[in-house]
Structure 1
Amino acid sequence: MHKFLPFWEHVEELRKTLLKIGAIILLATLLTFVFHKPLFSLLLKPLKEPSVTFYQKEHLVAHKSRTFSLPPGTLLLTAKNERIPVRHLSLEQGESADLEIPKPSLYLFSPLEGFTTVFSLSFWGGILLSSPLWIYLLLRFLLPALKGHESKLLLPFFLLSLLFIGGGLLFCYRVTLPLITTFLSSFNTSLGSNLWGFGETTRFTLYLLLAHALLFELYVALLFLIHFHLLTYPTLQRARRPVIITIFILAAICTPPDVVSQLLLALPLLLFYELALLFARSKDYKDIYLLNRK
């Protein structure tokens, strides 16, 4: 955006920028749709953990001597109640074996569910994967309107935002998702059979990822407010107890109802807040020092 352009030329520049952003997101969405299988495999990998796999018991009888090829993940039940992974099983005529065969982890409950879910994920995946390009276009449009010191801070805060968003996504993928899927599959077993829908499970996974990314991003917003003196150390100190309660409430919403999972999410957020307090105190000391020098 150029400072001295007339108003309608600013509008025209904005229109061109938005058209470019739309074209980039559309292209990224189409590419993500074409290569959606690896993306879904990565996204739903926590469902393939052994603790979340659903099994169906089968009694196999050999009417003649042969070697059976079994699905990956099949378990052989021994007389000692041991569960041994087996891929090929040789049985003589008349012999039998008890097996646990993994069932499909996700089910489609309507003809369009697979297509609509894949398209929805492709759209959001396209926005995420193309974000460096369209954010660059937005910054290029906005940068000339910022003052010198503001433009210098834009890049560090942008990079910090990406770092914490990535940290939130990684934390959810590596810690929260495996814990919550294990807990829910175990809890549901006492109530009925686990038949998880493809669309609902995908949306649930995306919700958790987004929630964690936003929670971690709040720390960057906090640093931003502190840096520009919109929040001070005394204010943050007074809000300490309500913030701690709020963090545990948010952790309870975004994790299974067990203490360990909630602590795993709450502790990093509490640490971030304490670091923000230290940053606010150092800013106050620095401002007082500069004021005394004058």
Structure 2
Amino acid sequence: MSDKPEHDQPMPLVSHLTELRTRLLRCIAAIFIIFAGLFAFTQQIYTLVSTPLREYLPVGATMIATDVASPFLTPLKLTMMVSLFIAIPVILHQIWGFIAPGLYKHEKRIAVPLLVSSIFLFYAGMAFAYFLVFPLVFKFFAAATPEGVAMMTDISSYLDFVMTLFFAFGVAFEIPVAVVLLVWIGIVDVKYLRKIRPYVIIGCFVVGMILTPPDIFSQTLLAIPMWMLFEIGILFGSLVSKNKRGDHPDEQSERDNNAQPPAPQA
């Protein structure tokens, strides 16, 4: 039995564009439905996100709003970003629904775990940033404030800062998925990844130095998880490489048959 895509019939370009538009509209609708449900809680959401900073503000200090509309627009902007993050499973499901018909069965077997793990790892990176990195960062900033300077952070600037870190840590935690994809596609092999391990470790500490305060503890706190995630990616990449070499003789025989010229007819 050959390992063919389930829908092997070609589709017109217009049909592809129509399906793409439908799935994009579903993604946008999911984001706005979630936003509508969270709209009444915009102030509470901002209060929750700003907690790691407010806990380390000096006694009597508060966050400030330097723009007239910031007290209303900044929580609204945060709620929209939260809606986008919550809708990521729906967005990835729509992407999967668009590309899945053109995949082989063995490709689907590896794509589904990658899809699920990418969602989990992205949320894990955000949680890691909120519960572990933010307290360290803001504690350092509060302690480093010069004497005679009042630490009063603008709410809009704070939002930009934490959203950048949320996204950075969410993407950084996708390292295992990226490693497995690179091995699966054939861009790199596991032997090469093991060979460059020392450079990857150095790169992890460089990233930790950039994204965290300049102390060895917080840098290590980010660098070591990134290194461990890289090692997990190598582990699963080796499994994918083994399966890729030996599990699909039907597909290879199909390609060989297609490459043979037709037998002459008597």
TM-score under structure 2 length normalisation? 0.81
**Conserved? CA contact 2:204–2:223, under 8 Å:** yes
- Relative to 1, partners in 2 of residues 1:278 and 1:219: Cα closer, same or farther, differing over 3 Å? closer
2 CA distance for matches of 1:44 and 1:278? 38
2 CA distance for matches of 1:167 and 1:201? 21
Shift of 1:122: 2.1
Q: How does 1:58-207 map to 2 (within 5 A)?
A: 102-104=60-62, 106-190=63-147, 192-207=149-164
- Structure 1 runs (4+) deviating above 3 angstroms are 1-5, 275-290
2 CA distance for matches of 1:227 and 1:158? 14
Which residue of structure 1 lines up, in the alignment, with residue 233 of structure 2? Answer: 276
TM-score under structure 1 length normalisation? 0.74
**Residue 224, structure 1, aligned to residue 181, structure 2:** yes
1 CA distance for matches of 2:16 and 2:245? 41
Shift of 1:189: 3.9
- 1:212-235 deviations in Å (ceiling 9; x for gaps): 111111221112222344321221
Shift of 1:133: 2.4
**Residue 53, structure 1, aligned to residue 57, structure 2:** yes
Structure number with higher helix proportion: 2
- Which consecutive unaligned segments of at least 5 residues does structure 1 have? 56-101
Shift of 1:159: 1.0
- 1:65-95 deviations in Å (ceiling 9; x for gaps): xxxxxxxxxxxxxxxxxxxxxxxxxxxxxxx
Q: Which amino acid aligns with 1:205?
A: V
Q: How does 1:192-271 map to 2 (within 5 A)?
A: 192-271=149-228
Shift of 1:145: 1.7
Structure number with higher strand proportion: 1
Which residue of structure 2 lines up, in the alignment, with residue 92 of structure 1? Answer: none
- Relative to 1, partners in 2 of residues 1:270 and 1:137: Cα closer, same or farther, differing over 3 Å? closer
| Number of residues of Structure 1 aligned to a counterpart in Structure 2 | 241
Q: 174-183 or 216-225, which moves further after superposition?
A: 216-225
Aligned CA RMSD, in angstroms, stands at 2.4
2 CA distance for matches of 1:115 and 1:179? 29
2:21 to 15, 19, 31: 15
- Relative to 1, partners in 2 of residues 1:206 and 1:275: Cα closer, same or farther, differing over 3 Å? same
**Residue 40, structure 1, aligned to residue 49, structure 2:** no
- SS of the aligned residue for 2:145 comes to helix
- Which consecutive unaligned segments of at least 5 residues does structure 2 have? 1-5, 248-266
Indicate the percent of aligned positions where both proteins have the same amino acid: 25
- 1:250-279 deviations in Å (ceiling 9; x for gaps): 111111110000011111111222333444
Shift of 1:31: 2.9
- Relative to 1, partners in 2 of residues 1:110 and 1:122: Cα closer, same or farther, differing over 3 Å? same
1 CA distance for matches of 2:156 and 2:20? 36
Shift of 1:285: 6.6
Shift of 1:160: 0.9
**Conserved? CA contact 2:180–2:234, under 8 Å:** no
